[in-house]
Amino acid sequence: MRLSKMHINTLREVPGEAELPSHIFLLRAGMIRKLVSGVYGFMPLGYRVIRKIEEIVREEMDMSGAQEIHMSAIQPSELWKESGRWTAMGPELWRIRDRHDREFCLGPTHEEIFTDIVRNEVNSYRQLPLNLYQIQNKYRDEARPRFGLMRSREFIMKDAYSFDRDEAGLEKSYDIMYEAYERIFDRCGLTYRPVEADTGAIGGSGSHEFIALSEVGESDILYCTSCNHAATSEQMPGVDDIVADGATDALEELKTVDTPDTKTIEEVATFLDVPKEKTIKAILLTVYDDDGGVKYHVTAFLRGDRELNMIKLVNALKEPEHMVVMADEAIIGDATGAVGGFTGPVGLHDAKIIVDSELEHLPNMVAGANELDQHMTGVNYGRDYKADILIDIKQVQEGDKCPICGAPLAQARGIEVGQVFKLGTKYSASMGALYKDENMQEHPIVMGCYGIGVSRTMAAIVEQHHDDNGIIWPVSVAPYHVIITLVKPDDKEQAAVADDIYEKLQSKGVEVLLDDRDDRAGVKFKDADLLGIPVRITVGKKAGEGVVEYKLRTDADRSELSIATAIESALTYVTDGLR
Ligand code: ATP
Ligand code: MG
C-alpha cells in the first residue's frame, strides 16, 4: 500500500481524555476514532490489526475443533428471563424496545442464544461434543467506560460455547480451549498469566482468566512465589491468622470504654494503645431490590488491618453486584442501631451480619459499641456475637500466605484479555437443553464458555509493546510488516529503488507500506515510529549506489545494507516473527 493513497490521519497532539499509552497511541496513529464515550471505530490500519488478531483466534479455534457461526447481537428478553439474567444483569445490560414495545437487549455475551440453538437442534448424545464460536460485537453499558478499547461499551469479542454429555467431557473441552488460549496469546506477543478466577454473573463451577501483565491493568492478581498458584484477588482465599495461643487465652470480660473522636481504626488503636490487629473494622452496606427499595442492610466485620474484598462479599450474599452498595449511615443507623465510625457486631439488630472467618479465632478484640464515642473491649466471637455468614471476605495482600503451600504471595496488575468458564448445567438446566443417552434417558447438556476480548487484546498488545515514540507491533499482528521510507519521492533513482523493494517484498508475501508522501523525511520517520511497523527500510541519498538503511522498530541501531541484503533481512525477520 502506498501511504500517499491511504486514508490516514496521524495526530501530533495527545488527545485530552487519553491517559494510557494504548489509548494515546491508537488515537494518535489514526487507528481508532471515538464516536461517543466508550464507542470506537477502526480506521484502515487499526482494522488490519483487528483482523490479524481475529485471524489468529480463528485459526486456533478451528484447529481445536470449534466451528464458527455468527449470531445476531440483538437478543429477545424472553431468553434472558428464562435464564434469570434479565434482572440479575442490571444496568450494564443494554436494553432496547422495538416498535411493538417488545423488549430486547444488545448482547453482552451469548450463553442464552447458544443454549437456545443447541436445545432446538441437538437431542442425541451422538451430536456431542460440540463447540460453537463467533467473533462479534458485544454491548455493555459500562458504568465507567474508559481507556479507549480497554473498557468500551461496544467491543469485539470471540465467544465460544462447548456442549458435552458429562463433566469428564467438559474437562476435556475446557483443557482444549485453555491450551488454545495459551497459543493465541503467545502468538499475539503478550506476556500473560492464566489465573484462577471468580465466575461472576456468568456463573458456573470453575474458571480461569488470562491476564496480560501491565501496571495500568484493572485486574489485581496474586501468585505464589513458590508453588506458582495464581488467582485474581477475589478468587484467592485469605489464610486466617490463627493466634497460636488463642485457644488458651483467657476470655476477658466484655467492657464498654470511652473513646472520644476515634472514628478510624488508626485512631482507636492509638487511643487504646493496641495494635490494629486487635481491632475489628466494620463496613456498612445496603442491598436493594429490583424496584429500588431497601431489601436488607448488611454489616460486615473483619480484622482492623485488613481490607474488604467487595466481590467476595457480594458472592457470600448471593446478590447481583449492582444491588449491593455502601450504606447511607443515617438510614442504616436508624434501621439497625449501627453508628458510623463506632459500629461493632455486638447489639446490632435487623442487619445481616457477615464476619470474616478469621475473627472466629481471634480473642479479646476491640470493636465499636454502637454508641457515639464508645468502643467495646474483650469482644469474642461466639460468646458476644454471631455471624449470619462466617466466611472469608478479606482482600489478600502481597506477602500474605499462599493458601496452598504457605509461601508468601506476590501481587501483580494486568489486563483481563480472556476468560474460560466451566458452566456445568447452569444454562442447560434452566433452559431445558437436554440430550438423550444410549438408553433414551434425558440429561442436561454440560456446558463451558470461553471469551476473548479481541479489541481489548489490541490495546493490551500496545500497552506491552511501545516506547515514547509510539507503538512497536509484534510482527504477528502488525498492520504491515515493513515500511519503506522514501526520502525524496520526486527523485527518480530513489523512487525506482523503493518501487523495486516494494514489489520484491510483496511478491514474497510480505505486507509493505511505501511512504511516498510528499513530506519531510523527519515527518515520515516520526510517523513510522508512531505506527509501529516492525521493519523500516529507508531509501535515500545512497539509493544510486544500491545502498539503503535498515532498521528494526525494536532496536535503536540502523545499518546500511545493499538492496538485496535489506530485502533478505526483512524477509527473514518477518518469517521468523510469524512462526
Ligand atoms: P471485566 O471484568 O474487565 O469487566 P468481564 O470479566 O466482565 O470483564 P467477560 O464477561 O469475561 O468480561 O468477557 C470476556 C472478555 O471480553 C474479557 O476477558 C475481556 O477481554 C473482554 N471485555 C469484557 N468487557 C469489556 C469491555 N467493556 N471492553 C472491552 N473488552 C471487554
Ligand atoms: Mg471476565
Q: What is the CA radius of gyration of the chain?
A: 29
**Probe ligand 1: pick from 133, 157, 193, max atoms within 8 Å of CB?**
157
Cα of 456 from ligand 1 centre, angstroms? 8
Amino acid 22: pLDDT? 97
Amino acid 198: pLDDT? 85
Q: What percent of the chain has pLDDT over 70?
A: 98
- 348 and 435 belong to one structural domain: no
Domain count for the chain:
3
In contact, 533 and 480? CB cutoff 8 Å? yes
Amino acid 12: pLDDT? 87
Residues linked to residue 207 through DSSP beta bridges, in sequence order = 421
The answer to whether position 98 is within a domain reads no
The answer to whether position 459 is within a domain reads yes
Mean pLDDT of all residues in the chain?
95
Residue range 437-449: mean pLDDT, rounded = 97
Q: Read off the CATH number of the domain in which 297 is found.
A: 3.90.960.10
- 488 and 436 belong to one structural domain: no
Higher pLDDT, 61 or 198: 61
Amino acid 14: pLDDT? 81
Q: How much is the pTM?
A: 0.93
Residue 485's domain comprises: 480-577
Amino acid 13: pLDDT? 86
Higher pLDDT, 243 or 421: 421
Residues with Cβ within 8 Å of residue 168, at least 6 apart in sequence: none
The answer to whether position 527 is within a domain reads yes
CA dist., res. 268 & res. 263, Å (int): 7
- 160 and 215 belong to one structural domain: yes
- 121 and 226 belong to one structural domain: yes
- 302 and 381 belong to one structural domain: yes
Which of left, alpha, beta for 357 (phi over 0: left; psi -120 to 50: alpha)? alpha
Q: Read off the CATH number of the domain in which 47 is found.
A: 3.30.930.10
- 278 and 362 belong to one structural domain: yes
pLDDT(31) > 80 = yes
- 23 and 121 belong to one structural domain: yes
What H or E segment, with its residue span, contains residue 537?
A: strand 535-539
Question: Could you report the per-residue pLDDT of 175-186, keeping only the tens digit for each?
Answer: 999 999 999 999
CA dist., res. 512 & res. 504, Å (int): 10
pLDDT(277) > 60 = yes
Supply 52's cell numbers: 490479524
Nearest Cα residue to 577 out of 480, 478, 475: 475
The answer to whether position 293 is within a domain reads yes
Supply 7's cell numbers: 486514508
The answer to whether position 282 is within a domain reads yes
- 341 and 436 belong to one structural domain: no
The answer to whether position 422 is within a domain reads yes
pLDDT(250) > 90 = no
Q: Cβ(155) to ligand 1 under 6 A?
A: yes
Residue range 546-563: mean pLDDT, rounded = 97
Supply 488's cell numbers: 525524496
Cα of 399 from ligand 1 centre, angstroms? 28
CA dist., res. 532 & res. 555, Å (int): 12
In contact, 59 and 495? CB cutoff 8 Å? no
Q: Cβ(204) to ligand 1 under 6 A?
A: no
Question: Could you report the per-residue pLDDT of 285-305, keeping only the tens digit for each?
Answer: 999 998 889 999 999 999 999
Q: Read off the CATH number of the domain in which 503 is found.
A: 3.40.50.800
- 170 and 287 belong to one structural domain: no
Amino acid 247: pLDDT? 54
- 214 and 152 belong to one structural domain: yes
Domain boundary among 334, 360, 391: 391
Amino acid 88: pLDDT? 85
Amino acid 248: pLDDT? 60
Question: Could you report the per-residue pLDDT of 364-388, keeping only the tens digit for each?
Answer: 999 999 999 999 999 999 999 999 9
Q: In whole angstroms, how far apart are CA 383 and each of 274, 342, 393?
A: 22, 20, 22
Q: In whole angstroms, how far apart are CA 230 and each of 241, 309, 409, 416?
A: 20, 17, 9, 14
**Probe ligand 1: pick from 178, 234, 419, 457, max atoms within 8 Å of CB?**
419
Strand 409-424 relative to strand 434-436, pairing: unpaired
Question: Could you report the per-residue pLDDT of 95-128, keeping only the tens digit for each?
Answer: 999 999 999 999 999 999 999 999 999 999 999 9
Residue range 204-227: mean pLDDT, rounded = 93
The answer to whether position 159 is within a domain reads yes
Domain boundary among 463, 488, 504: 463
- 64 and 25 belong to one structural domain: yes
In 459-502 the beta strands, taken as DSSP E runs, fall at: 466-467, 470-471, 482-486
Supply 165's cell numbers: 454429555
pLDDT(485) > 60 = yes
Residue range 548-566: mean pLDDT, rounded = 97
- 486 and 452 belong to one structural domain: no
Q: Looking at the CA of 201, which ligand is closest?
A: 1
The answer to whether position 280 is within a domain reads yes
Domain boundary among 437, 463, 489: 463
